[in-house]
A and B are shown apart, each in its own frame.
Chain A
Amino acid sequence: DGGITQSPKYLFRKEGQNVTLSCEQNLNHDAMYWYRQDPGQGLRLIYYSQIVNDFQKGDIAEGYSVSREKKESFPLTVTSAQKNPTAFYLCASSIERDTEAFFGQGTRLTVV
């Protein structure tokens, strides 16, 4: 079945360590997005990529990095520079000219 997969669902890391969250889609979508959600809050855009080898900062990019080497994959690295990394991270994708974005089920990152 086509879809967007985030892994792992739960992730624990020690403070000061970088961690990479996986996002893979087999929908042949050009655009991919990363969002962060804090408890009781809406989603905030971290980074987005509209095409392979290209990406732009969203509203809260500081402390995060991404790559888009393949159309299917858009991994997000949470670096030690991110002051409050504990959050729920959501990845999404959409196709050129389409009007619907599909979301993964999210990764809940806890930094201790």
Chain B
Amino acid sequence: DAKTTQPPSMDCAEGRAANLPCNHSTISGNEYVYWYRQIHSQGPQYIIHGLKNNETNEMASLIITEDRKSSTLILPHATLRDTAVYYCIVRVVNNQGGKLIFGQGTELSVKP
């Protein structure tokens, strides 16, 4: 499984966009990029995923570089409730669902 590298922590001002980077230089052609977040002592929450194209949903946008070696999760208007640890994961999606291998994540602190 490909590995991901994320900064250990980031700060963001409330109301501003939070841009969380992730490097996955060894990603394979059949591996998707997933983002989850975990608020303290809770189960991780799915945010978004993508393969090659940029993706957007009601929570966030995912920008994947053309060579797929890195990506950025964008929270367009961060709120205090977005304070959490954000995990970038690469995952092979097969007929059986694929494994999720977590790294250390980025601890995002949204400040008033």
Residues of A bordering B, CB below 8 Å: 29-31, 33, 35, 41-45, 48, 50-51, 58-59, 88, 90, 92, 94-106, 108
- Structural contact, B102 and A94, CB atoms closer than 8 A: no
Q: How far is the CB of A23 from chain B (nearest CB, A)?
A: 11
A48 to B, closest residue via Cβ: B99
Q: Which residues of A contact B43 (CB under 8 A)?
A: 90, 92, 103-106
Q: Which residues of B contact A44 (CB under 8 A)?
A: 102
Interface string of B73-112 (1 = CB under 8 A from A): 0000000000000010000010111111111110000000
Of B41, B42, B101, the contact of A45 (CB 8 Å cutoff): B101
Interface string of B40-58 (1 = CB under 8 A from A): 0111111001000000000
Q: Which residues of B contact A48 (CB under 8 A)?
A: 99
A33 to B, closest residue via Cβ: B100
- Structural contact, A42 and B102, CB atoms closer than 8 A: yes
Of A30, A41, A51, A101, the contact of B46 (CB 8 Å cutoff): A101
CB-CB nearest 9 A-B residue pairs: A103-B43, A31-B97, A50-B96, A43-B102, A94-B97, A42-B102, A100-B46, A42-B104, A103-B44
